[in-house]
Amino acid sequence: MDGWVSCQWHPVVGVWVESGGGGSGWADWWPVDAGHKNIAWYQAKIQNTGLPTNIRLHVGCGGSSADWWSDNRTGSTSRAGGALTGSAQLNAVCNEGTVPPPPGDNQRCWFGYASAVAVWAIHHLSGAGAYHAIRGFDLVTDDSAYSSWAGLCLAFAASAYENALPDGAWPSPTVSGPTATAKGMYNLYEADGLVHSASIVPPVGAFAFYPGLTADGHIGISIGNGQIVSATTGSPSVVPGGYSLNGQYRGWAYPTNAFR
């Protein structure tokens, strides 16, 4: 089994895969790149386990591989049968906080594709995807569809989820109707009570909203450590001033069926 895991403020320093049916063990893991060690790819083999089994991830955030600053755990997910290697993918995002947690069972991670979404955004900070879609990596049928990301902050944010989910979040990164602008999307999420308080730092992979920044608003993807990646010019970049963006930040949300 494998997948992406992330911490909010600290580097990933280890991943332990807990199997209720036996076969628990350490995973191999690699940070997405040298500049974003809070997100890592892990890979593990669960051997000699009885099925069905409950799988749970322990993600070490901060400290060292031998002495974790915090042990952050997901809930458990049942695996009734089939291969537990290769195609079995579990992604998790953790919010370990900035104060060491008390000893004991700290369930501060949850399953989902948010970490993979952040990885997609990071890959577009440089290289082939900095100014256009990456062939073989992005779900586009026309290489010229995104010859530049300039002014396409909402398309960039939507594409992050479309490309990170195995079946695609939406049929195409094109957005229209009530969500044709970042401000329109924020208004829809806000009306449905889905926007989390602006007093909370957006977790890894979340949409960060800036509805008053321009006439059409603005949106970005959180990559942890208070950083937001967004498309404002031809190349996606980390917004200056941190997630608050000079006081323009108005809250965060993960995409739901409110995206319509």
**Which of 111, 140, 172 is where one domain is finished?**
111
- Tell me what pLDDT residue 86 has: 41
Q: Are residues 249 and 136 in the same domain?
A: yes
- Is the four-CA dihedral 158, 163, 168, 174 of positive or negative sign? positive
Domain tally for the chain?
Answer: 2
Distance CA 211, CA 218 (A): 6
Q: Are residues 161 and 245 in the same domain?
A: yes
Render pLDDT for 182-191 as a digit per residue (tens, 0 to 9). 999 899 889 8
Q: Are residues 215 and 177 in the same domain?
A: yes
Cα angle vertex 120, ends 162, 135, to 5°?
80
Q: What's the mean pLDDT in 204-222?
A: 94
Render pLDDT for 128-155 as a digit per residue (tens, 0 to 9). 666 666 666 676 555 555 567 778 888 8
- Tell me what pLDDT residue 121 has: 92
- Tell me what pLDDT residue 39 has: 98
Q: Quick check: 174 pLDDT over 50?
A: no
Residue span of the structural domain in which 191 resides: 114-253
Please check whether residue 253 is in contact with residue 195, taking contact to mean a CB–CB distance below 8 angstroms.
Answer: yes
Would 164 be classed as within a structural domain?
A: yes
The string of DSSP codes covering 6-41 is E-SSS-EEEEEEEETTS--EEPEEEES-TT-TTEEE
**What is the C-alpha end-to-end distance of the chain, expressed in Å?**
33
Mapped onto helix, strand or coil, the DSSP state of residue 138 is coil
